[in-house]
Amino acid sequence: MAITHDPADVTTTAPEVPVPPPAKAPGTLIFGLAFAQLGLMVAVLTPVMVTLALRVAQIVPEADRGAALGKVLSLGAVLAMIGNPVFGALSDRTTSRFGRRRPWLVGGMTVGLAGLAVVGTGGSVPVLMLGWAVAQLGCNAAMAAMVSCIPDLVPPQQQARVSGIVGMMTSVAMILGTFLADAFDTSLALAFLVPAVIGLASVLYLSAVMKDRPARAGAFPPYGFREFLRSFWVSPREHPDFAWNFAGRFLVFVGISCVTSYQVYFLMDRLGYGQDEVSGKLFTGTVAMVVAVIAGSLLGGVLSDGSGRRKPYVLAASVVIGAGLALIATAHSFGMFVLALVVFGFGEGLYLSVDVALAAAVLPNPEESAKDMGVLNIGNALPQSLVPIAAPAILAIGGGGNYGALFLFGGVACVLGAIAVQFIRSVK
């Protein structure tokens, strides 16, 4: 890959005018975008939801596995949060004859597969941390390029529909990932490698059907450390509505991260399932939750667009997520756990469908929407790092294994997030 760095070019060459997308995106491209999203999410979410926790449980004593999992997940989340905008900017500047997205799609996922292979075969926590760090960096390089393909290649009149199809693949990936974890529960190495191979196959297909172009030399200024830091800052004093939305999103995702990071150990420690049973139980719960997510997302979008209001639906969604977390905190049977996941999933779907529209309404500058959405996405990613750091101390309350306290903590965070959104003044 060739990245433009020559400042002399910048002073004499105007930025490249984007090539307009075709009148209609071909079906092969739409399928490729959806397949790439599915493959990338399967590769990343399967370890986060299931297999990393099981791998840690294989090599760490029971008393230490919560803290060990927190170390692995938090390192990966930090690198994902930093790597995504960095690789996105580098992709914009890539002058390779293969295009500016294709090298990062294929190269990134190849690195991600190598990292997941290390996680699947590693025998110590430091090795798992190294492998997961490599996997997160590689997969996020591919994700940054993939997300850019929609505005690059899909005409405006199709972007909402295509974005909806692509976004739905995350929920499908949750089901497929837990199914694969259950199918390969006797070989955790394969449980890491098979999702990674699916991810690589998916980006290879997209790379084959997409029309990519290289960046023109000198079209962008150098991307240095100062520019990187500046791209992550939006003044809360000048844009308070943006700040309140960031705070609300951060707090809601604290609650969501409590479930995604610790449901495996909840099933093992609270409900007493063995390691060989967890994947199957989690698959059942995930299917029920994803159906609820889809229902909440469809209902929330229709009602919010029909009424022209956003804040009431964000408030309702946050409260429903909090109620789901409270139900998980008190669940002592698998049936109750599944019911709690359905409530939780419905609230999450409702929240995700309306929150994007709310976020778009409070962006400070429409000309910098990608940068500002990147700042908001830190509110999604940061809890994935902070929750595993805080969770061991919360779980230790009262002598250890206090999952009730952990999920109630997440529920309170969701309610506080709903309150924060109500301070937004420019949106109903």
- Fold match between 27-231 and 236-428? yes
Average pLDDT over residues 223-238: 70
Nearest CA among 293, 290, 280, 274 for reference residue 179: 280
270-280 pLDDT, tens digit per residue, is 888 887 788 78
* Whether residue 394 has pLDDT greater than 50: yes
Average pLDDT over residues 103-113: 94
Average pLDDT over residues 400-405: 84
* Whether residue 244 has pLDDT greater than 70: yes
Answer whether 215's CB lies under 8 Å from 100's CB. yes
In this prediction, residue 199 carries a pLDDT of: 95
* Whether residue 45 has pLDDT greater than 70: yes
Instruction: Name the residue with higher pLDDT: 107 or 236.
Output: 107
CATH class, range 236-428: mainly alpha
In this prediction, residue 233 carries a pLDDT of: 65
* Whether residue 116 has pLDDT greater than 90: yes
In this prediction, residue 104 carries a pLDDT of: 92
Please tell me the distance from the alpha carbon of residue 241 to that of residue 420, in angstroms, as a whole number: 10
At 192, the pLDDT band (50, 70, 90 cuts) reads very high
407-428 pLDDT, tens digit per residue, is 999 999 998 988 888 888 777 7
Q: Hey, what amino acid is at 42?
A: V
In this prediction, residue 380 carries a pLDDT of: 76
Lowest mean pLDDT among 67-71, 159-163, 228-232, 379-383: 159-163
Mean pLDDT of the chain: 81
In this prediction, residue 370 carries a pLDDT of: 46
* Whether residue 11 has pLDDT greater than 50: no
Average pLDDT over residues 218-235: 67
Percent of the chain with pLDDT over 90: 22
In this prediction, residue 372 carries a pLDDT of: 62
285-329 pLDDT, tens digit per residue, is 888 988 888 888 777 767 776 777 778 888 888 889 999 999 999
- Tokens 């995702």 belong to residue: 253
In this prediction, residue 53 carries a pLDDT of: 86
What are the domain boundaries of the chain? 27-231, 236-428
In this prediction, residue 79 carries a pLDDT of: 86
DSSP annotation string for 363-393? -S-GGGHHHHHHHHHHHHHHHHHHHHHHHHH
Answer whether 69's CB lies under 8 Å from 200's CB. no
Please calculate the CA angle 106-372-300 and round it to the nearest 5 degrees. 90
At 366, the pLDDT band (50, 70, 90 cuts) reads low
At 231, the pLDDT band (50, 70, 90 cuts) reads low
Average pLDDT over residues 346-363: 75
Average pLDDT over residues 388-410: 86
* Whether residue 234 has pLDDT greater than 80: no
In this prediction, residue 110 carries a pLDDT of: 96
Lowest mean pLDDT among 71-85, 153-167, 239-253, 260-274: 153-167
Percent of the chain with pLDDT over 70: 84
In this prediction, residue 3 carries a pLDDT of: 43
In this prediction, residue 227 carries a pLDDT of: 67
* Whether residue 5 has pLDDT greater than 50: no
165-191 pLDDT, tens digit per residue, is 776 787 788 888 888 988 887 888 899
Give strand pairing partners of 3: 94
CB-side exposure of 375: number of CA atoms within 13 Å? 26
* Whether residue 16 has pLDDT greater than 50: no
Answer whether 252's CB lies under 8 Å from 352's CB. no
76-88 pLDDT, tens digit per residue, is 878 887 877 778 7
Please tell me the distance from the alpha carbon of residue 209 to that of residue 205, in angstroms, as a whole number: 6
Average pLDDT over residues 35-42: 93
Q: Which CATH number fits domain 27-231: 1.20.1250.20, 3.30.1330.10, 1.10.3720.10, 3.40.50.1110?
A: 1.20.1250.20
* Whether residue 10 has pLDDT greater than 80: no
pTM of the model: 0.68
Nearest CA among 229, 199, 238 for reference residue 378: 229
Instruction: Name the residue with higher pLDDT: 11 or 325.
Output: 325
Please tell me the distance from the alpha carbon of residue 128 to that of residue 121, in angstroms, as a whole number: 9
